[in-house]
Structure 1
């Protein structure tokens, strides 16, 4: 690569004991969140399927334990299987979500006991296994992989809570309001190469690797994600009824399912309202829109005279520091996220207002690229040049292809352990139950940008 660099490995130079402590803390934080999400409801709610799009919460809980047993207890630890009869039952590729309630799943008490027993053995393994000599154990990679897996299922369980009917059971402080003055509506990202992906981030997953140089033409990108207020302009202008804004696939899906607004929105005599984790409230105009599909994001962008950014454009806006030519770990730098940088970790139960995290802005002045809402990009999901599946094809490779669109940046429901500037998420373009929004981009040379 031509003099461009990426940020250094954050665990580089740490002793094995320090890496063990880091891994143990990450695992503990993930388990605390899993406990919060499952203890918030009674056993009837745990075993109920709240939507055919999602598993019963008790399936997610036991699946977390099953994966931990497979990788940390059996593979890394070399121990005998604890519950081999559960392997097929909790294999996500063997059973569709809609079918899982009919399986002979562990009950709530048995599932809790199982994941506790697995965790005790996993901590024993972490204490004794050398963190070197195998790619799975270098810098505790396997423990980081399992931490991220649990946090990803925690976000899935949070989405299940959003689909659940009944009184609110999750509570959190309100997300912060705007902390900036007027921001430019968009930012120019100059043409040129940057380092995309990573070869050094210790817990990066296979689809983030390897680092490679990508040339990106000059483009403008929205300073913040598209807000509810901006999206309402599209909606109120008849955007959902006008075929010209929609792709063929998007229009077919919209009409077949009679979609007329973001999921969980409804029109009332006094305006638009939404349901958020059991709470009914007016749609807040200043927060990023959430629960929109790729097709809705694509249609809005066309209506606005723009487009969705490519994945490479999104990552350059998020990571590239033009002053030194380095690709940072995060927009603000190389240090891990704090509550001043981004809305992460279920700290709040909604996106924060546009302009709420000035400390998290990129060197070019793009805000809220990490946290708040996953952001749809126009890119299909695929491997980078030199991609190698590790440690198993089913994490990434089996999903490569045009059926899936890439999302970036994480949401308010994503934990800091499961997000970074290189992290890649993917889903079907029809998905609306996930915590997804978007921002727009457009081609072009610099010109005067309006403020908002």
Structure 2
């Protein structure tokens, strides 16, 4: 029996809530987040839970116990100053102690024990939430630590969803159809974002993570940006034109990776000689031309952009396009405004289990006219993952600081598998440029000729 997914209701920003309303919101978000984790882990039997479906991913049962361990350490022990429940498993579920490929060999909690553990931790946390002060120190101000844990579990839910995509077997997840894009044919290919300064990052978003802070002014030259992400149909033309066989489109590192990995098409694509097919959560289906391409690496995205006579946008360009409103001169929380995502704004929370057609969600368009900057597919940018000026690690170095540098490329915007709690206009994701199992696509940019900006 397939499991249907759920999504977040529309909510007011946490900064607008009273103390009691904030506690109610946190409790609801904790419970909603756990329902998603439960859906993803109860959709398969115990054998599937403990199996490693790819050396790139942990067994699902590891992710489940890991979110409980982090919740215990940060909320029960640190925020609540209460006795440890399972200090003996701290090292087992420390993501820095053990590579994903090695985790199946560890003495992990079994499915029943893991479920019991995370349930016990959650009971302690909900009791704690009724009594702990939500002011007086940065870790608890505006319920930051609770928001951090909610986002952490939702990030692992997206990781578990990626594991489901790698899993072989009958479909076990279900979701409603995506909306149409009725005006897609009339949309311009590009939008122009004028030169100027905007405020990047945030110093006011209550649950923003350390790498999103602080807010700082940045000048960005004029640029043109694709109105929508690159589609499967467009990417097929790159393949048909021999894009995977011509090193001139690839960087040196990208070409070496393409040869080493034998890349011929996006991950999960196969050709029967006539039609391109893809595997999606257990379904094998023709590749839909109108959907944004997904499961491509940074190197593939960059090669396509070169072939198209364009480039990938920088992270600064992406965020300006997504947040800056030239009519008011201010930056928005989301492309559509300051209210949190509604179903008509963006494809988030595994509500559809696939990207929506390019041009969908007109209500979620940015002031510049670009669509689907939030949701559908994570978008590769040209930028290395680096700190904002004035960055301070909080509450621990291992969340962001240890990943800064040229080894990781920035992705922005979230995917259909990203929850609204873990996605906003300032949210930053990062990964190795060879990653393909993540729900990543891209859109292109270019530097316009001077006469285009007059």
Q: Do the aligned partners of residues 417 and 441 (structure 1) sit closer, same or farther apart at CA in structure 2, a change above 3 Å counting?
A: same
**2:256 aligns with one of 243, 252, 256:** 252
> Does the residue aligned with 2:244 lie in a helix, a strand or coil?
coil
The yes-or-no answer on 1:338 pairing with 2:380 is: no
Structure 2 residue aligned with 1:290: 294
Structure 1 residues 115-130: aligned runs within 5 Å: 115-130=118-133
RMSD: 1.2
> Does the residue aligned with 1:380 lie in a helix, a strand or coil?
strand
The yes-or-no answer on 1:270 pairing with 2:274 is: yes
Asked if the contact 1:294–1:431 (Cα under 8 Å) also holds between the matched residues in 2, the reply is yes
TM-score by length of 1: 0.96
Structure 2 residue aligned with 1:412: 416
Q: Matched residues in 1 for 2:408 and 2:163: separation?
A: 21
Gaps in structure 1 of 5+ consecutive residues = 1-8
> Does the residue aligned with 1:188 lie in a helix, a strand or coil?
strand
Structure 1 residues 183-332: aligned runs within 5 Å: 183-332=187-336
Aligned length: 441
Structure 2 residue aligned with 1:67: 70
Q: Matched residues in 2 for 1:320 and 1:440: separation?
A: 19
Q: Matched residues in 2 for 1:310 and 1:247: separation?
A: 17
Structure 1 residue 174: Cα displacement: 2.0
The yes-or-no answer on 1:362 pairing with 2:344 is: no
Structure 1 residue 24: Cα displacement: 1.1
Range with bigger deviation, 276-285 or 178-187: 178-187
Structure 1 residue 10: Cα displacement: 3.1
Structure 1 residue 168: Cα displacement: 0.4
Q: Matched residues in 2 for 1:172 and 1:12: separation?
A: 32
Structure 2 residue aligned with 1:398: 402
Structure 2 residue aligned with 1:376: 380
The yes-or-no answer on 1:34 pairing with 2:37 is: yes
Q: Matched residues in 2 for 1:27 and 1:128: separation?
A: 16
TM-score by length of 2: 0.96
Structure 1 residue 49: Cα displacement: 0.2
Gaps in structure 2 of 5+ consecutive residues = 1-11
Cα deviation 1:86-132 (Å, max 9, x = unaligned): 10000000000000000000000000000000000011111100110
Q: Matched residues in 2 for 1:403 and 1:335: separation?
A: 34
Range with bigger deviation, 292-301 or 261-270: 261-270
Structure 1 residue 175: Cα displacement: 1.6
Q: Matched residues in 2 for 1:336 and 1:428: separation?
A: 29
Structure 1 residue 14: Cα displacement: 2.2
> Does the residue aligned with 2:41 lie in a helix, a strand or coil?
helix
Cα deviation 1:24-70 (Å, max 9, x = unaligned): 11111110000000000000000000000000000000000000000
